[in-house]
Structures are given as C-alpha cells and as structure tokens.
Amino acid sequence: QGTRDHPPAQAALRERLLSAVVSCFKRHGAAAIDTPALELRETLIGKYGEGTKLIYELQDQGGELLALRYDLTVPFARYLAMNKITNMKRYHVAKVYRRDNPATTRGRYREFYQCDFDIAGQFDPMIPDAECLKIVHEILSDLQLGDFVIKVNHRQILNGVFAICGVPESKFITACSTLDKLDKVPWEEVRSEMVGEKGLSPEAADRIGEYVQLHGGLELIERLLQDPKLSQNKLAKEGLGDVKLLFEYLTLFGITGKISFDLSLARGLDYYTGVIFEAVLLQQEKEHVEEPVSVGSVAGGGRYDGLVGMFDPKGRKVPCVGVSIGIERIFSILEQRLEASGEKLRTTETQVLVATPQKHLLAARLKLISELWGAGIKAEMLYKKDPKLLKQLQYCENTGIPLAAIVGEQELADGVVKLRDIATREEVRM
C-alpha cells in the first residue's frame, strides 16, 4: 500500500526528470554521496516532530535496532558528524520511507524519491541560503511547470512572534507544527487547534493570527523591522535581518519576482533553526478568481544549524542549509501532461534491429548483431529462429527502433547488409 512499480514508460520519464534535477545540482558544484536506506532507530527518533510516528521500523531479528530513513537530511547530518566533516556541498537522490496515509493521485506515497542539495559549513550569512533558493528557481523554471512562488520565512521570526504573543518557549515547536497546516486549512481551524489541542490562550492565538497572515516582499520586512513589539525581540530582529540580507542576494540573482516573504510558513520538522522555504505551483483557475490557486508544495528546505551537533559526541555544530525537491508531485504533473499530449516516450534506446527475410539465417543474425554490439551500437533481434520479416518490421514500429539491418541470402552472398529506414522505407545496401 502506498508504493508502486514503475513500468518502463514511467521509469523513462523519471530518468529524464531526475537527470534534469541532478544536472542543476552538478551545475552548482555539488558532489554525490550515498548512505544506506537503513539507519539505527535511535538516529531517527526525535528529529521529525509529529513525523516520528511515521517511521518504518524493522523487526528485531537480533543485533541492532533499525529503521528505514524518513528523509535524506538526518542521514546527511549523521554522516557529517560520524566523519567529522565540517564543510561539504553534496546532493543525494534516493528513496525515503514514511508510513503516511497515501494519497497517490496527489503524488503522496509511502516510498518516494527525494532529491536533496545541502551546503554544510561555517560561511558568511545568507550566501548558501540564497543559492538554495536559486536552485529551486532554476529547477522549477527548467521543468516548465508553470507559474510558482517560493515562500520564505525564518524560524527565529516565528519564535519571536510566538514570544511576543505570549506563547511559552516550551510550546514553540508544537505551535509551529499546528501553524504548518495554514496552507491547507483556514486560519479559524488553525486557531482552534492552537487553543484546543495545544493549550494556547485565545488572546495569544489571536495575536499570532495578526502576524502569520502577512506576506509580501522587502517592504514587509522593513515594516516589521519597525514593528514596536517585534523589533524589541532579539530573535525576531535577527531573523528579519537575515531575511533582509537574503532578499538583497536574491535581487542580485534576479529571482525576487517569485519569492514571497510569508509569515504563515512554518515547516513541520523539528530541526530547522533559520531561514525556511517552500515552493508551490500556482494554477490559474479558469474564471472569476483573482488569486491563483496553490496545487501544493514541490520543494522545500531551510537552515538547520543544530542537527549535526546532535550526532557529535562533543556536540560540535556544523551549520547547514539545504533544499529537497519534491520529485513525486512534479512527476505526477509531468505524467498527466505527457498523457494529455498523447506523446509516446520511447522506453529503449535501440538504434537498429537485426533482421532476416528468409529461414535458416539465425547464424547470420547472431554474427551481425555481435559485430554491432562490439562497435557500441544499440541493437536488438527477435529471439526466434525464423521470424517473419513483417513481424520484425512491426517490432521496430511498435518500439520506435528507427532502422533495420537486413541480411538475406542475397546479402550474405554479396557480403553486404541492407539497411532500412523504418519511417521512410528507404533501403540502402552497404
């Protein structure tokens, strides 16, 4: 349940998509790493907030207690700490596992690919953070997914908002995970969960509501820096300073047109400590709707300066920022689009079919195809001793093989091969 096989057409589309994402990561100078799909259970516990209950655990068959990785970020942090690496730019494309309620039509699965790019190291503020946003912008533009917006917020600003609204510090994380639902449900519902389940006072919730419904650009940042209460809060002020600097760099990258500073963005994971962001695709409704409708998040990430330290015996921190591309949703969109277009993706790369027009010529086919493979040519033949020529040519048409190399008795006698262009039916002897 919640997993799927990828038949060849899907696998080919996925390969195309992943290769677009990976080339962007490589364009930004990232190295690949790979980590096991299995992690020690203790590595994963307590890193994902309410997600922890979705972790797949392995049966205790003796030895270590294991679990399947939930994301690629925690394994990356564990890897850095274990190897005492303090400086690294890496990408990782791999499957992760979550015992979530699958919603497969919206591209939500229990086993799914993540494509992560992260920058670890002590650097000047906001330069790596800006590059992560640039990467999201490049990938979503390259894939031509239509209009999108990248929402940006900062954990310290949120914490500052909670603080000045009277939320005790012990409830910051849980308040964040409630707030995280604001992109799916209206504020009234979020407010009632904050008051009901999370035990915030109604007044605190109302004060939070005034802030978290704000979104805008540089002018909003400037306005909040002047906000009498928020500007008095050290965390919020630092966060606003970061976001202001970030916008400066994003302006130099020329991508602020797609960036929205959005105070409702919270991100559910415990480990974020600074800038957080999430990209959503916008879909123009057909009639009378002024604001574009969001069709869901396709990328997200943020800064997590404390995570590596949790795996280091001495608690040494390595600041990190990263982005994860939500490949499954993008894949669903591309799949629907391909289906609508009627275009048929080839699932193999075969260049030529080796064919014979008469019986008793299997040996000739085997010899010729062996020669072609030896020359690096992608070649197939039918696995029949005496296939009909029509069948062989139909196989080319069905699978998109552009050429047939035909050896008949006459060709054998003349020491030639007849090369046929399947589409034009032109033939040359060579």
Site for its own copies in 228-287 (CB under 8 A): 249, 252-254
Q: Which of these ranges, 120-128, 177-185, 229-237, 402-410, lies near its own copies under the rule CB under 8 A? A: 120-128
For the CB of residue 152, give the shortest distance to its own copies in the complex, in Å.
Answer: 17
Task: Determine if 291 is a binding residue for its own copies (CB under 8 A).
Answer: no
Q: Tell whether 305 is in a known binding site.
A: no
CA distances from 328 to 10, 150, 152, 225 (A): 12, 18, 22, 38
Q: Could you tell me if 171 and 198 are in contact, meaning their C-beta atoms sit under 8 angstroms apart? A: yes
**CB burial string 160-174: b at 16+ within 10 A, e below:** bbbbbbebeeebbbb
Task: CB nearer to its own copies: give 116 or 380.
Answer: 380
Gap between the Cα atoms of 85 and 29, Å rounded? 17
**Selection from 84, 78, 79, 38 nearest residue 59 by Cα:** 38
Among 107, 128, 160, 301, binds its own copies (CB under 8 A): 128
Binding mask 339-358 for its own copies (x = CB under 8 A): --------xxxx--------
Restricting to residues 92-111, name those near its own copies by CB under 8 A.
95, 97, 99, 110-111
Alpha carbon distance 42, 40 (integer Å) = 5
Establish whether 98 is an annotated binding residue. yes
Question: Which of residues 201, 358, 370, 410 is near its own copies by CB under 8 A?
Answer: 370
Determine the Cα–Cα distance for residues 70 and 97; give it in Å rounded to an integer: 5
310 binds its own copies (CB under 8 A): no
Given the rule CB under 8 A, which of 143-151, 257-265, 329-337, 371-379 is the region that contacts its own copies?
371-379
Q: Which of 379, 406, 417, 422 binds its own copies (CB under 8 A)?
A: 379
Note whether 154 binds its own copies by CB under 8 A.
no
Give the pairing of strands 293-303 and 275-283: antiparallel
Q: 313 or 376: whose CB is closer to its own copies? A: 376
Nearer to its own copies by Cβ, of 142 and 427: the residue is 142
Q: Which range touches its own copies (CB under 8 A), out of 258-266, 270-278, 306-314, 364-372?
A: 364-372
Q: Does 63 bind its own copies (CB under 8 A)?
A: yes
Residue 412 contacts its own copies per CB under 8 A: no
118 annotated binding-site participant: yes
φ and ψ at residue 24, rounded to 5 degrees: -65, -45
Which of left, alpha, beta for 144 (phi over 0: left; psi -120 to 50: alpha)? left
Least separation in angstroms between CB 392 and its own copies: 13
- 270 carries a ligand binding annotation: no
Q: Is 303 annotated as a binding residue?
A: no
Is the torsion defined by CA of 264, 268, 269, 271 positive or negative?
A: positive
Where are the extended beta strands (E) located within 172-273?
215-216, 259-262
Tell me the three state secondary structure of residue 106. helix
**Residue linked to tokens 């919270």:** 266
By CB under 8 A, residue 59 contacts its own copies: yes
Which of 185, 366, 416, 423 binds its own copies (CB under 8 A)? It is 366
Taking the C-alpha atoms of residue 368 and residue 389, their distance in angstroms, rounded to an integer, is 16
Q: 176 to 215, contacts with its own copies by CB under 8 A?
A: none
Tell which phi-psi region holds residue 84, choosing left (phi > 0), alpha (psi between -120 and 50) or beta: left
Q: Is 52 annotated as a binding residue?
A: no
Q: Which amino acids are annotated as binding site for L-histidine, given as ranges?
A: 71-73, 98, 114, 118, 267, 271-272
Q: Which amino acids are annotated as binding site, given as ranges?
A: 71-73, 98, 114, 118, 267, 271-272
